[in-house]
Structure formats: C-alpha cells, structure tokens
Structure 1
Amino acid sequence: MTVDAAWRFARQRIARLDARLLLEQVMVCTHADLIAHPTRMLCADQFARLDALVSRRAEGEPLAYLLGSAEFYGLEFAVTPAVLIPRPETELLVDLAIERLQSSSCARILDLGTGSGVLAVTLARQCRGASVTAVDLSSAALAVASTNAARHAVEVSFLLGHWYAPLGDNRFDLIVANPPYVAHADPHLQHNGLPFEPRMALTDGVVGGDGLACLRAIIGGAGARLRPGGWLLVEHGYDQAAAVRQMLAQQGLLELDSWCDLAGIERVSGGRLD
C-alpha cells in the first residue's frame, strides 16, 4: 500500500490530523515527506502497525499515548500511560511561578506529584539558577520524568514518596502542584480519553469524595515547607477555587488569589507565607 492510500485509509476511521501524525510515526518521516513521496510503499509490518494504532485511536485512546509524546510550554515531553497527559491550562501554573521567581537567582523549587515532570523540567529550564526537587508516589511516573529531565538537559532531584514525606527538613521558595482533584463520581472521568489515563493522577479515589483530599494535604503541609516569603501555587478543578482559597486562608497564607486560564476558568490558586 502506498503512503497516499494508507493516509486515506486512516482518515476514514479517525480525524485527519490524527491519521497524519500516526502515519508519520509509523513511517518515521515528516509531513513534508508524506506530501513529497505519496507513492512510497508501506511494508506489511508498517501497515499492520498503522492499522493497530488507528484502531486504538478510534476506540478513544489518547493520541499522546500512541505517539509517546506531548507538547507543553513549547517543549516535547515523553508520556506513557503511567502519567497524566499535560494540558495547556497547566502552562498558567508555569507563568505564575516564573513571575514569582524573577527576583531570585537561586530559588529552591518543589513540584509535588510531578507525573511526567513537565512542571519541574520546564521550571528548571526557565529558572537556570534554581534548585528543583520533584516528588511522586509512582516509580513508573518518576522514570518518565527522569527521561524528560535528561531530554531537556536539566538537573532535577526526583524523590519517591507521598507529598512531603521524602523531603526531610528542606524548605522551599516555591511549591507548585497539579494534584489529583477530580471528584470520585465526576462523570468526566468516563469521557474524553480519561479512562486511559492513570486514575491516581486524576482523582484521590475517596468514595464519595469531593476531589479536594490531595489539595488539603498539600495546602495543610505547605506552611512547614515554605521559606519566609515563599509561595504555594496549586492547580485545581473548575469549581474549586473558592474552597482552595479558604484552605489557603486557614493556613495563614497571604496575598491569596485565583487566576483564570485561557478559557476564563479559575484554574490556579495560591498564596504567600509571611
């Protein structure tokens, strides 16, 4: 089968862009190559692989897992089913973090629940003088994050454990987190590819829970882990901003605020230790 015929075959079952990207993956080529060489032949193994990938995509498996990568903050990150696929709205968390580190040349940064490492690695690239530590409960996730740190030539200290547990007495100038915050019974968990993503990265798993358990743990422990003047910034659900601000206030943090993503949804909240 030719490249052109394979592309038409794939487009009959999945979106045009998805079909093109999967064909490029199988052929190890660029979009320009596909256009320039439409009569290039696929071998039997290549077509079988394309057919399998197209079937998986048609069944709802996220494209990022099929390609093995996703873009975040202009960088390409490896992703596997062991980690959450990075979302564009999380880039707001990076922007806010960078703003708060502009006056610090040697900040200590902590990323809780790092997953694929997008926050830790991006901040390490953007804040070259910073010391970055990242924690996750999943060893498989930390393996992906370590791969991404090596890919982008940054040093991050990756620690296995539950939130603050593996940190000793260390304190930080900035703590960032994009924790599980989807409520246990939220119907969104059954749609838009979410059934393929690691459940522990999406929801705290508390039956009947409101999705705030992880945020409570992070916010509740932040005061003992921040340096004076240090900031805590957390991503949360579309309807959780008020509850998160209340938790931040209960911990005595100052300059409390919530910031909207590009869709106008309050997506990140934070505060500063006095």
Structure 2
Amino acid sequence: MPNNTISSLLKKANQVLSERHLDLNAAEILLETRLEYTRSELWTHYFDELSDEAEEQFQKDFKRYLNGEPVQYILNSASFYGLEFYVDQSVLIPRPETEELVQLAEQVAQKEKVEKVLDICTGSGAIAIALKKRFPSLSVTASDISKDALFTAKKNSEILDASIEYVETDLVTLFLEEKRTFDMILANPPYIAEAERAEMSDYVLKNEPDLALFAENDGLAIYERLAIDLPHLVNKTFWIGLEIGYAQGEAVQKLFQKSFPQAEVVIHKDMNKKDRMITCTNMLI
C-alpha cells in the first residue's frame, strides 16, 4: 500500500485542526521544517509520497501539538528578528512584539554612540543576540536568574556565532555589586499578574516557564526593582527599553519618571496598538 502524499496527509491533519479550532498552519509548519522545505518547496512537492520515517515523524509531532505543546518547542526552533533560535521549555518562545523593542534599540544604536549593552532577563538570548548580530562592535552582556535559560542562551550564541557575556544573577544584583555601567539597557521581564492566569492559553501555561511569565504586585514587582536599581547602572548618557504588559504603561512610566526625573519616559504601542514598551533616555534622539 502506498504511503500518504503530502497532500493527503495535510488534508487529514487540517480537518482535525479545523474541528478543534487550532492553528491551520501548524501541520504545514511541522512538515516543512522536518523535511527542510520552504513553504513554496512544500507546495512544489505537494503530491509526493512521504517516506515511512517522514510520516512517522510527522505523526509524532502532530500528536504532541494536539496534546497542547507549541510548535516551537516540538521543533526546538523559533524565528526572531530574521534569526532562528533554539528554544525549549527552559525559556519563553520569542514574540513578534519583542522584535519591536529590538527595532527601537537598533534605531538608537544607529544614531547615538552606544558601546555597552545589558539585556536583563535574557531567556533564550533573543534580544542580546539580535543586537549583537546587527552591531558586531557592541559589547553585549545578558543576564538571567535561571541556569537553564542561560544554558539555552549560550547554545544560541554558539549556533548564531554571537559573542555575548552571560551572567547568572537576580536581575542586576551582581552588576550593582561590581559597580558596572551601561549605555543601553533592555529588559523583557516577567510582567503578568497572577490574576491573569485564568485568562491565559493552556499552550502557554502548560509549557512556558512560570519564572519568566509572572510577577507579584499585579505584575509590576520587577519594574519597581528596576526603577530603583537602574539609575546606578547607566552611564552619563543612556537609553533604557522595557517590554511591558498592555495595561501597565502609565504605572511603569510613573515609576521611571520618579527615578529618572531628568529623562524622557515614553510609552510606545505595538503593532496591535496596545501599550507594549517603555523607553527612558536622556539622549537627544
């Protein structure tokens, strides 16, 4: 009996996805990635028969997806800022919204003299590595409290050939002790309030690390600490960029306006017109 073609396999899979109201792209992504095809190549081979090994791998992958595991963890791969990152359950899956924070930082680095960069709560290393690849001359340091996350970030640095200094510390504790300072500081910290847990997708809650998602005090606890500590870590001219929850803009803005009275603190909206970033700077950009 002949094996399934790509066409017949995807047709069956898409019917299941449709019935369960799941992402109709999932089956194609799983298949094309394992076969090392682009999307156009997948369609070119649409009526090819799959090998036993390829079909068996797809069925395993598809079952994991139906059981609630994100495609990125199944494939150990996530796209971010034009790069492919290794991801597993030690780190958050990089989001498109975070790319917008990197875009803001890139615009600053193109116009201003930036030499030393710190990425706090680095996770997979996505922000730090994306900036280092864009500006190889930058001295980039990345920190996280999670040993497992740092292991993953270091793996991505090796894969993507990006020289980053990784530091295990609780936010910026070690940098304060060593009296280190930076021109640019970025952070995508945990900012979800526990009260929001009930509204969140099971795909996130069952797979992504709580340590990287939730923060106390309605999700503001990390920003409160950073607002106190970051004035001691910035150089004479500085730029700070933070990702925030969509309902936290005014609260975080007030925290940083109090800590940096001479700086400009601005709320930025994301592609969905939601408050998503705070920048704090004394640079004349």
Structure 2 gaps of 5+ residues are 18-22
Give 1:78 deviation, angstroms: 1.3
Structure 1 gaps of 5+ residues are none
CA change 1:260–1:189 in 2 (3 A) is same
Q: What is the TM-score with the length of structure 1 in the denominator?
A: 0.90
- SS of aligned partner of 1:237: coil
2:272 to 239, 263, 268: 263
- SS of aligned partner of 1:185: helix
CA change 1:141–1:34 in 2 (3 A) is same
**How far apart, in 1, do the equivalents of 2:105 and 2:114 lie?**
14
Q: Which residue of 1 is the match for residue 13 of structure 2?
A: 10
Could you tell me whether the CA contact under 8 Å between 2:243 and 2:278 is conserved in 1?
yes
Give 1:29 deviation, angstroms: 4.1
1:212 to 216, 220, 225: 220
- SS of aligned partner of 2:161: coil
Q: Which residue of 2 is the match for residue 201 of structure 1?
A: 212
Give 1:33 deviation, angstroms: 5.0
**How far apart, in 1, do the equivalents of 2:204 and 2:45 lie?**
36
2:163 to 137, 155, 159: 155
Q: Which moved more, 1:173-182 or 1:33-42?
A: 33-42
CA change 1:29–1:127 in 2 (3 A) is closer
2:218 equivalent to 1:178: no
Could you tell me whether the CA contact under 8 Å between 1:89 and 1:267 is conserved in 2?
yes
Give 1:273 deviation, angstroms: 5.3
- Alignment length (residue pairs): 270
- SS of aligned partner of 2:189: coil
- SS of aligned partner of 1:79: coil
Taking the TM superposition and a 5 Å limit, the aligned residue runs for 1:1-274 are 1-4=3-6, 5-14=8-17, 15-31=23-39, 32-33=41-42, 35-36=44-45, 38-43=47-52, 45-104=53-112, 107-167=115-175, 168-187=178-197, 190-191=200-201, 193-195=203-205, 196-204=207-215, 206=216, 209-253=217-261, 254-272=263-281
Q: Which moved more, 1:98-107 or 1:179-188?
A: 98-107
CA RMSD of aligned residues (A): 2.1
Deviation per CA, 1:50-96, whole angstroms, max 9, x where unpaired? 22321221233211111211111122111111111111111121121
Structure 1 counterpart of 2:277, which letter?
V
Q: What is the TM-score with the length of structure 2 in the denominator?
A: 0.87
Matched-pair identity in %? 30
